[in-house]
Homo-oligomer: A and B are copies of this chain.
Amino acid sequence: MKKLINKPEDVVKEELMGVALAHSDLVRVHFDPDYVVRVDAPIANKVGIVSGGGSGHEPMHGGFVGMGMLDAACPGAVFTSPTPDQMLEATKAVDGGAGVLHIVKNYTGDVLNFEMAAEMAQMEGIEVASVVIDDDVAVQNSTWTAGRRGVGTTVLAEKICGAAAEEGKSLQDVAELCRKVNGWGRSMGMALTSCTVPHAGKPTFDLPEDQMEIGVGIHGEPGRERMDLKTADEITEMLTEAIVSDLPFEKGDHVIAMVNGMGGTPLIELYIVYHKMVQILEAHGIFVARRLIGNYITSLEMAGCSITLLKADEELLRYWDAPVKTAGLRWGV
């Protein structure tokens, strides 16, 4: 295992100490229980937004804490759900009296723990709404998942709901907006290589030198099909067509598109995928109104990519364009 780490059990703590030192203008890091929280939280009368999940997907979620996006993020151990205790403390830390939205990726551990945290917070008098993101079209059920997995749409939901909360929308409105984003967002990913969880010390799965995994999950869960390597154009077509046909996206739709690297993919390759994806979408009469290209929801050092498309109307585009100031996403300020 080749990694820039010290002891596997210290990876998340030491990362968080680095985040605390690097971004003290944006966030504070609370330890035991661990969460990353906006320096200016809680903000009176603003809906607080909390997300979280296993570590290893950086910059998601801790890198998205800041003005216009998340109020707090709860990092679990690598690829392991954070605990209800973390989520409860983060919820309390961001409650400014207008309630708190939990944005939850659809993995069994995350869903159960966020449910428990929401109940505990409500017992303490904090209004909590929860929205589960389940946008991965690859497979219906999966390791650790009942239903579809929650992947790239989470990043877009955090940005858009963050903007709405910043604008002063109510908890009910922000939760409704989050459900709209989840309903209109679809993703699919693929892996050229596995990744290695530090604690495990060996690759999560074996993928021969001439094969790839189409529809892979962000923890290396099996996807739709293992097959021989194909060209970037063929891979992009498989991902894009699976996504477009699922909603289905239609001629005339505007979309926010994300071409996401899994952590070990050069940016040069993501632009090749982006180029082909736009051609395919144009043939469908679908227009890319906004885009993100880079590493946003990763799987450690996995080589591969995912595509996320979010059908976007005026409302979503306006929230998308609103200022955001986080370590992982920043514009307008």
Chain B, Cβ-Cβ closest to A191: B2
| Chain B proximity mask over A270-295: 1 for CB below 8 Å, otherwise 0 | 11111110100000000010010101
Chain B, Cβ-Cβ closest to A275: B18
Kindly specify which of A9-17, A43-51, A149-157 makes contact with the partner chain. A9-17
Q: Is the CB of B209 within 8 A of A266?
A: no
- Using Cβ atoms and an 8 Å threshold, which residues of chain B touch A301? 264-266, 303
How close is A214's CB to chain B, nearest CB, in angstroms? 13
**Once bound together, how far apart are the Cα atoms of A233 and B55, in whole Å?**
20
**Once bound together, how far apart are the Cα atoms of A333 and B193, in whole Å?**
37
- Using Cβ atoms and an 8 Å threshold, which residues of chain B touch A42? none
A330 at the interface (CB under 8 A from B): yes
Q: Is the CB of B15 within 8 A of A268?
A: yes
- Using Cβ atoms and an 8 Å threshold, which residues of chain B touch A322? none
- Using Cβ atoms and an 8 Å threshold, which residues of chain B touch A268? 11-12, 15, 55-56, 58, 78, 300
- Using Cβ atoms and an 8 Å threshold, which residues of chain B touch A4? 192, 232, 235, 265, 269-270, 272-273, 304-305
Q: Is the CB of B3 within 8 A of A271?
A: no
**Once bound together, how far apart are the Cα atoms of A183 and B265, in whole Å?**
33
DSSP class of A's interface residues: helix, strand, loop or mixed? mixed
- Using Cβ atoms and an 8 Å threshold, which residues of chain B touch A288? 21
**Once bound together, how far apart are the Cα atoms of A295 and B266, in whole Å?**
9
A52 at the interface (CB under 8 A from B): no
A5-B231, A231-B6, A275-B17 known; A267 vs B209 contact (CB < 8 Å): no
**Once bound together, how far apart are the Cα atoms of A295 and B270, in whole Å?**
14
How close is A258's CB to chain B, nearest CB, in angstroms? 11
The residue among A59, A192, A267 with the most chain B CB atoms within 10 A of its own CB is A267
A68 at the interface (CB under 8 A from B): no
How close is A67's CB to chain B, nearest CB, in angstroms? 13
Chain A residues 217-250 with CB under 8 Å of chain B are 229, 231-233, 235
Q: Is the CB of A298 within 8 A of B15?
A: no
The residue among A2, A19, A55 with the most chain B CB atoms within 10 A of its own CB is A2
A164 at the interface (CB under 8 A from B): no
A332 at the interface (CB under 8 A from B): yes
A185 at the interface (CB under 8 A from B): no
- Using Cβ atoms and an 8 Å threshold, which residues of chain B touch A212? 2
| Chain B proximity mask over A68-94: 1 for CB below 8 Å, otherwise 0 | 000000000010000000000000000
**Chain A residues within CB distance 8 Å of chain B:** 2-6, 11-12, 14-19, 21-22, 55-56, 58-59, 63, 78, 192-193, 209, 212, 229, 231-233, 235, 263-276, 278, 288, 291, 293, 295, 298, 300-301, 303-305, 327, 330-333
Closest 3 CB pairs of A and B: A18-B271, A18-B275, A4-B269
17 cross-chain CB contacts under 8 A: A2-B193, A2-B209, A2-B229, A3-B192, A3-B269, A4-B192, A4-B270, A6-B232, A12-B268, A14-B271, A14-B276, A18-B275, A22-B274, A22-B291, A58-B268, A264-B301, A266-B300
Taking A4-B273, A14-B272, A78-B268 as given, write out 8 further A-B residue pairs in contact, using a Cβ cutoff of 8 Å, ordered by the A residue number: A2-B193, A4-B192, A14-B271, A16-B271, A18-B270, A19-B271, A263-B266, A264-B264
